[in-house]
Chain A
Amino acid sequence: TQLLEQSPQFLSIQEGENLTVYCNSSSVFSSLQWYRQEPGEGPVLLVTVVTGGEVKKLKRLTFQFGDARKDSSLHITAAQPGDTGLYLCAGGGANSGYALNFGKGTSLLVTP
C-alpha cells in the first residue's frame, strides 16, 4: 500500500486568512487527486494533477504537484466559511491497478 500523509490533520482559521495543506508520500504516483468532503456527504473531486510541477487553479484554490510526483499541496487564499470541510488527497495510477490510496485528510474549519 502506498501511504499518503496529510498535514496538518486539523486546521481552524478565521475568514479571510490564507492556508496551505500538504500531502506527502515516499511513492511516485501517476496522478494525484484532491477531494473535499462535507459532513454527511461523499467526497467531491476538486482537481486531478498528473504532471510533475503542475499547478492548477480553481478560483481561490491553488493545487501543485511536486516535481517528483510524490507530494502535493493545496493553497486556499482568503478562506471563506464555505471552504469548511475535510480535504482528502488520493494517489493512483497504472502501478496501483487504477485504485486510489487516500490520505487521512485535513479537517478545515473557517469561522466568520
Chain B
Amino acid sequence: EAGVVQSPRYKIIEKKQPVAFWCNPISGHNTLYWYLQNLGQGPELLIRYENEEAVDDSQLPKDRFSAERLKGVDSTLKIQPAELGDSAVYLCASSLGGASGYNEQFFGPGTRLTVL
C-alpha cells in the first residue's frame, strides 16, 4: 500500500514569491493534516481536514497561507507571498479519523522549503 505522497520534496524560492505544496494521503484516510516543522523541533499543526472540511485552521496564518482539499482526497497548501521565516519542512499526514481509532497518523516525507 502506498504511503502519504508529497511533492515537491525540495523547493527554493525568493521571498515574496508564491509556492504550493501537494499531498496525496493514504487511500481511505478521511483526515488530512498539514504541519510545519522547524529544524530540531516537533511538528506544529497548521490545518486539519475531515474529508473536504477544514475543522481546525486556528494555527494557519491566513494572511498568506491557504489550503484546499476540494474532493476530500488530495490537498494543496499555498503560501503567497513567502517570507524568509517560512523556511521549514512542511509535512502532510493522514489518519482514518474520527472515532475509528486513536488517531494514528502516517506522515509523508515532507517538502523542505528554503526562502532566500
Contact = CB atoms under 8 A, between A and B. Distances in A.
Interface string B64-95: 00000000000000000000000000010101
A42 B55 contact: no
A94 B101 CA distance: 10
Interface string B84-111: 0000000101010111001111111110
A15 B41 CA distance: 25
A103 B42 contact: yes
A102 B41 CA distance: 9
B43 interface: yes
A61 to B, nearest CB: 17
B24 interface: no
B45 interface: yes
A40 B41 CA distance: 14
Contact of B42 (A40, A44, A97, A102): A102
Given A41-B110, A42-B109, A104-B42, A97 B104 contact: no
Interface of A: 6, 30-31, 33, 35, 40-45, 48, 50, 86, 88, 90, 92-94, 97-100, 102-105, 107
